[in-house]
Structure 1
Amino acid sequence: MAQTWFENGYVAFDTETTGVQEKTDRIISASLLYYNAAHVLVRRRTWLINPGIEVPAAATAVNGLSTAYVHDMGMVARDGIAEILAALAQCVRYRMPIVAFNGSFDMTVLLHEGRRHCLALGDDFADIFGGNMRLIDGLTMHRKAHLKWRGRRNLGALCQVYGVELGAAAHNATADARAAAELSVKLTAESPELFEVDALSLHMAQQGWYAAQMEDLQAYLRVSRGDVSIQCPPGWPVRY
């Protein structure tokens, strides 16, 4: 059997944030799920973080996490971000694939959180963002396998298409991480000629796919919206 990215196990990662601005919004919850090669969940870690700022009502409406709740129950932001960095760095050191959906968003937010809390000089930060990560991103995979997809391509919509249970738990970090893992496994089974490779090879392939996808999206949006200034940044797995 061909080598697959999940043959030695993997982790699934997701965050919930105060918004969608990668450089300025804050992580308020995160989940890291550990799976063995048989796709059995063997361990989980979760974080609830007090970002030290107000959680916008729009974010609360999406993820259910209010300012009062995260301020009362959440960890000090610097401590929480440091723990997340340490956990992910350990995965990177053991060459464990990190599975996510639109993972470049989570990783970019985490990078800027690390910088914000003066953690960027530590070994954990360097190990994650120094080029050794193996990210498996279900969104990038689906875009590659289905170039002319008609319909929504968010996690909830694709879970319905592929029979992945998510339901009312959407925008909960643990539920989203679990769904991202299951979706990526199903995409691999659907298109083994693209995705049934080792984790490093798939990670490197996704870098090229993502750059091409953003170039195509940028061209489409510039024409459809009549605005030649529209930019779709190509950075993957992190936009620095």
Structure 2
Amino acid sequence: MSWHLGRMAAFDLETTSKHAHEARIVTGTVIGLGGGQATEPRAWLADPGVEIPDEAAKIHGITTEEARAKGRPAAEVVGEIASHLFGSIASGTPVVGHNVAYDFTVLDRECRRHDVVPLVDRFEGTDVIRPVLDSMVLDKQVDPFRRRVSETQGPRVLKTCAQTYGLAWDDEAAHGCEYDALVSARVVYRIGQLAHMDREEWPEQIRRVRRPGFQALRDLDLAALHAAQVTWAAEQAAGLQAHFRKTDPEAVVDGSWPLRPWEATS
């Protein structure tokens, strides 16, 4: 079976900060979907134990007051999300998300903050979370020269990816973790479809892509595709860092994937 046709676990978090090492989880979701089985959504709302900045609340819609009134203790939520993801991965189901290095790093730091066994430490004989499919890494690999849509909409945000692959997008629903997780899974599925099509079958918008890389993903198994993303994420980060250093010689872009190592910040 082609890698995009199997079961997936779509994962996303909404948090208090864009900085993964300091962010606290506000909402989270893991949605089992695909593979010819019923969709199984699981969602959490946490009281993060800190004030939710207005900037973050404007994105995901959860205020400090709502989180305190309706959210469960952060340690419980963090532990349940980690356990749910572990169960999916242990069964061979790939975790799917958009820019998963952020979400996995937030979860890892939250586990350590609340004395919960980190996800990465739950796998015997390895310190790697796998298999993982990242819609942002895959998208940049197959369509590397896409430009910004506008001053406010970058080329790799989830909205742009959805629009590129002909998927519906709802601005009001966006940035809710369930919606974003589902869209990231749909983007990954669509990339997989295109990888297994002949080029002549591609939609016109995809045929216009400059130096498309879809067919390099054809016939890979999940293990090979995960390993390839490790390399691609590092290469993409190096390219972005080189770009930033044109104006900031000290700029650093971490290419670790799918998790920023704890040792680097401890």
**TM-score normalised by structure 2 residue count:** 0.83
* Alignment counterpart, residue 17 of structure 1, candidates 15, 18, 21: 15
Q: 1:41 & 1:71 partners in 2: Cα distance? A: 33
Partner in structure 2 of residue 26 of structure 1? 24
The equivalences for 1:48-127 within 5 A come to 48-120=45-117, 125-127=121-123
The answer as to 2:160 corresponding to 1:164 is: no
Partner in structure 2 of residue 195 of structure 1? 217
Partner in structure 1 of residue 180 of structure 2? 176
1:4 deviates by 2.1
Q: Deviation per CA, 1:4-53, whole angstroms, max 9, x where unpaired?
A: 22444111111101011111111100111111314x65211000010000
Larger Rg belongs to: 2
2:85 alignment partner, SS class: helix
Q: How has the CA–CA distance of structure 1 residues 24 and 132 changed in structure 2, closer, same or farther, with 3 Å as cutoff?
A: closer
Q: 2:169 & 2:223 partners in 1: Cα distance? A: 28
The answer as to 2:147 corresponding to 1:150 is: yes
- Tell me, yes or no, if the aligned pair for 1:5 and 1:97 is still in contact at 8 Å: no
Q: Which runs of 5+ in 2 are unaligned?
A: 149-154, 197-214, 262-266
Q: 2:26 & 2:223 partners in 1: Cα distance? A: 30
1:124 deviates by 7.6
Q: 2:252 & 2:108 partners in 1: Cα distance? A: 21
Q: 2:217 & 2:133 partners in 1: Cα distance? A: 10
| Percent identical residues | 27
CA-based RMSD: 1.8
Q: 2:168 & 2:94 partners in 1: Cα distance? A: 22
**Which 4+ runs in 1 deviate beyond 3 A?**
none
Q: Deviation per CA, 1:143-197, whole angstroms, max 9, x where unpaired?
A: 1011111122200122122222231211000000000000111111223423342
Q: Deviation per CA, 1:50-71, whole angstroms, max 9, x where unpaired?
A: 0000000000111101000011
Q: Deviation per CA, 1:84-135, whole angstroms, max 9, x where unpaired?
A: 01100001111110110111110011110111111136x8842398214211
Q: 1:34 & 1:144 partners in 2: Cα distance? A: 25
Q: 1:66 & 1:10 partners in 2: Cα distance? A: 30
Which range is displaced more, 156-165 or 208-217? 156-165
The answer as to 2:261 corresponding to 1:235 is: no
Q: How has the CA–CA distance of structure 1 residues 125 and 217 changed in structure 2, closer, same or farther, with 3 Å as cutoff?
A: same
1:34 alignment partner, SS class: strand
- Tell me, yes or no, if the aligned pair for 1:86 and 1:124 is still in contact at 8 Å: no
**TM-score normalised by structure 1 residue count:** 0.92
Count matched residues.
234
2:39 alignment partner, SS class: strand
